[in-house]
Chains A and B, each alone.
Chain A
Amino acid sequence: MSDQTLPETEAPGIRQARPGRLTSLLHGSETLRGLSLLSPTLLFMSIMILLPFAILLVMSFWTPVGFEFDTTPTLNNYREAMERPIYGALLERSLRMSGIATVATVILCYPMAYYVAFHVHRNKMMWIVLMTLPFWTSYLLRVFAWKVVLGYEGVINSALISVGVIEKPLEFLLYSQSAVIITLAHAWAAFAILPLYVSLEKIDRSLLEAATDLGDGPVMRFLRVTLPLSLPGVISASLLIFIPTTGDYITPALLGGPDGAMIGNLIQKQFGPINDWPMGATLSIILMLAIAFICAVFILLTLFVRKRIS
């Protein structure tokens, strides 16, 4: 793309040097023009993301003294985070739970997105809107709805009792890790459907015809053409769900019970009742690094897989 447009834009820039230096400079360089278009967003991002991040980073080297902070930089928080088993275990549990939730969401949403992309020909927009309809309510409301569904006297338990399958309500449904995973998988589904749909929709249908002509059955055609071409959607859906759910704290707080607590709950407690903000900052940084690491590995892995199968 850029190879084609570059000569075109450069040429008039050189010839018509009259309309002031700044304008010509802007028109002359593609990079500069791009940057100036980006700059409001860039400025906003750097203020709203980098600044809090810098504060967190600096604070993670402090120590709390009563209500104040001792600002001599120290690595004690990080050492403690490595040594005390609770932090590592909660981090591992959070990554595992949101990993399962992510896989479940993507697997459940893929067929839906596939159906709309390939088999719905009229009113596609309406289908998309209908699929995102549950997400028009508040997140908290959805979590509470699951509490009602999974609860002791909830929908599932009363249904099973009235049918006569069980005599006493199933207690493992609520206040457990599975309750949190189920809720996360449902609550974030919209974030999987949309990127999956977009990437499936973009696939050139003639490629599928070509695959059929060349002798691939439906399964091989899916594995060799559709799946590799929709991988960008799968990657972005996975990341969109995995990153925020790992740090989620409201779902485990309401549905997790003692065994379903995640690292987000602990971070919130550090800034709340425990009153150890530096430790909270340290845990946030560690969580961020862990997520970044896993995402990097995941992206590299999918790129590798894509190369192998296509």
Chain B
Amino acid sequence: MDILDQLGSLKEGKMSRRAFTRSLLGAGVGVMSLPLTSRMAGAASEDHATYFTWGGYDIPELFVPYKEKHGDLPNFSVFGGSEEALTKMRGGFVVDVSHPCNQALPRWVKTGLFQPIDTSRLSNWADVMPDLVNMPGNDAEGGNVWLAPFDWGQTSITYRTDLYELEGEESWDMLWDERYKGRLGSLASGGDAWWVGAIKAGVDFENLDTPEAFDKIAAVMRKQRPLIRTYTDDTTTLEQALASGEMVAAMTWNSSATLLKAEDVPVKFASPKEGALTWVCGLMVHKDAPNLDRAYDVIDSLLSVESGKFMINDYGYGHSNARSFEQFDEETLVSLGLSSNPSDILNAGHFQIPQTQEWETKMNSTFEEIKAGF
């Protein structure tokens, strides 16, 4: 039956009521079954592992081995901060693999939402640098680990070399520079910003959980707040603002500087004299992971040399696979703020140390108040 024909007959009043009802029925069945067909077609994606990660890691370049093996990319879900991610999973969101950092590790393990990783199932495990594996709270007995380290790097300042006039050495003072009021940016997550505040205030990370430390850091953050154009968890916002000159300096991770340099924006990733904030992030497997085999393939893919090369070259992050560094000479690594020996970098900066859940809650609520202007 031709649909134009039906409309024509309807217009001329020739269509019988029965014929009309029949075509209505046909349309109804069609509409109802439409979602079914698309579901069948998309069924393949439900077999894939779900990777719950930071924005920017949901790209094909990191899943070359996975794609070779399974023909498609895993499913992605993206978060802006690891606290947000944990809350979402505690609320019942089941994923296969997630991506916390060393500072959150003991708290994540304590929730009982994750299962130990059987390292014998990972073909790249032998190349993973032991320095990164041996973190406090990572031992899950029997040679297993809770978190498979994947990337490491620094939180520091990316600044425009042409717009920001540097006085003396690079320092965290740059993000507290009154001359550039309203042209400075910051990450919104307390997981970065508060720790940077601690470095700026001169608080030792060992004493972070004391009332004096809270007062000191809060005072520093309050001082910075009027200077900040915007706080955001979205690194793209910061990168665009730096590229356009809306901001002259911002707190970022390695990748923002590397990406902007690739776009020929005159920026530099500072090495502040007080030391940068350093961290190691890795992969954890959910205890109810629906596609456990593929979860291991996701991890293996991320730990592969191919992914490592991409991480170092395009994002400027350190990778956990020792062989990834063989592709780069010392000079390139130094210019990226990296080293084939991660402890050189991690210990030169201020390495994050795990805190209690109560601290995390108190820190976040204080920082939110400061950001809102109190």
List residues of chain A with CB under 8 Å of any chain B CB.
Answer: 64, 66-67, 84-86, 89-90, 151-153, 169, 171, 175, 257-259, 261, 266, 269-276, 279
With A and B bound together, what is the CA distance between A50 and B81 in angstroms? 32
B372 touches A175 (CB 8 A): no
- B291 CB, min distance to chain A CBs, angstroms: 26
User: Does B144 have its Cβ within 8 Å of any Cβ on chain A?
Assistant: no
Q: Which of B83, B357, B372 contacts A258 (CB 8 A)?
A: B372
A152 touches B241 (CB 8 A): yes
Contact status of A67 and B111, CB under 8 A, knowing A274-B365, A276-B365: yes
B230 touches A258 (CB 8 A): yes
CB-defined contacts of A258 to chain B, threshold 8 Å:
225, 228, 230-231, 371-373
The 8 closest A-B pairs by CB, nearest first: A152-B246, A273-B83, A66-B357, A274-B364, A272-B84, A86-B374, A257-B230, A273-B364
CB-defined contacts of B87 to chain A, threshold 8 Å:
271-273, 275
A275 touches B361 (CB 8 A): yes
Name A's interface SS: loop
A-B contacts counted at CB < 8 A amount to 74
Q: Mark B350-366, 1 if CB is under 8 A from A, else 0.
A: 00000011101100110
- A71 CB, min distance to chain B CBs, angstroms: 17
CB-defined contacts of B356 to chain A, threshold 8 Å:
66
User: Does B182 have its Cβ within 8 Å of any Cβ on chain A?
Assistant: yes
Q: Which of A67, A151, A171 contacts B90 (CB 8 A)?
A: A67
User: Does B67 have its Cβ within 8 Å of any Cβ on chain A?
Assistant: no
- A83 CB, min distance to chain B CBs, angstroms: 13
CB-defined contacts of A153 to chain B, threshold 8 Å:
244, 246
- B236 CB, min distance to chain A CBs, angstroms: 12
Q: Kindly identify, within residues 160 to 175 of chain B, every residue whose CB is under 8 Å from any CB belonging to chain A.
A: none
CB-defined contacts of B228 to chain A, threshold 8 Å:
258
B369 touches A275 (CB 8 A): no
Q: Mark B237-253, 1 if CB is under 8 A from A, else 0.
A: 00001001110000000
- A154 CB, min distance to chain B CBs, angstroms: 10
Q: Which of A259, A269, A275 contacts B373 (CB 8 A)?
A: A259
CB-defined contacts of B84 to chain A, threshold 8 Å:
272-273
CB-defined contacts of A257 to chain B, threshold 8 Å:
229-230
- A136 CB, min distance to chain B CBs, angstroms: 19
B83 touches A86 (CB 8 A): no
Q: Kindly identify, within residues 169 to 199 of chain B, every residue whose CB is under 8 Å from any CB belonging to chain A.
A: 182, 189-190
Name B's interface SS: helix
Q: Which of A90, A175, A269, A275 contacts B357 (CB 8 A)?
A: A275
Q: Who on chain A is nearest to B229 by CB?
A: A175
Contact status of A275 and B83, CB under 8 A, knowing A175-B230, A258-B230, A258-B231: yes
CB-defined contacts of B88 to chain A, threshold 8 Å:
272
A66 touches B90 (CB 8 A): no
A269 touches B374 (CB 8 A): no
User: Does B330 have its Cβ within 8 Å of any Cβ on chain A?
Assistant: no
B229 touches A261 (CB 8 A): no
User: Does B72 have its Cβ within 8 Å of any Cβ on chain A?
Assistant: no
Contact status of A269 and B364, CB under 8 A, knowing A86-B374, A258-B373: yes
B372 touches A261 (CB 8 A): yes
- B183 CB, min distance to chain A CBs, angstroms: 8
Q: Who on chain B is nearest to A171 by CB?
A: B182
User: Does B368 have its Cβ within 8 Å of any Cβ on chain A?
Assistant: yes
Q: Who on chain A is nearest to B183 by CB?
A: A171
A275 touches B244 (CB 8 A): no
CB-defined contacts of A273 to chain B, threshold 8 Å:
81, 83-84, 87, 189-190, 364, 368
A274 touches B361 (CB 8 A): yes
Q: Who on chain B is nearest to A272 by CB?
A: B84
- B56 CB, min distance to chain A CBs, angstroms: 18
Contact status of A266 and B368, CB under 8 A, knowing A64-B361, A258-B225: yes
Q: List 18 A-B contacts (CB under 8 A).
A: A67-B111, A85-B374, A86-B372, A89-B372, A90-B372, A152-B241, A153-B246, A175-B230, A258-B228, A258-B371, A259-B373, A261-B372, A272-B87, A273-B81, A273-B368, A275-B357, A275-B364, A276-B361
Q: Kindly identify, within residues 323 to 374 of chain B, every residue whose CB is under 8 Å from any CB belonging to chain A.
A: 356-358, 360-361, 364-365, 368-369, 371-374
- B249 CB, min distance to chain A CBs, angstroms: 15
A266 touches B372 (CB 8 A): yes
With A and B bound together, what is the CA distance between A211 and B17 in angstroms? 48
With A and B bound together, what is the CA distance between A153 and B246 in angstroms? 8
- A255 CB, min distance to chain B CBs, angstroms: 9
CB-defined contacts of A276 to chain B, threshold 8 Å:
361, 365
CB-defined contacts of B231 to chain A, threshold 8 Å:
258
- A284 CB, min distance to chain B CBs, angstroms: 16
CB-defined contacts of B241 to chain A, threshold 8 Å:
152
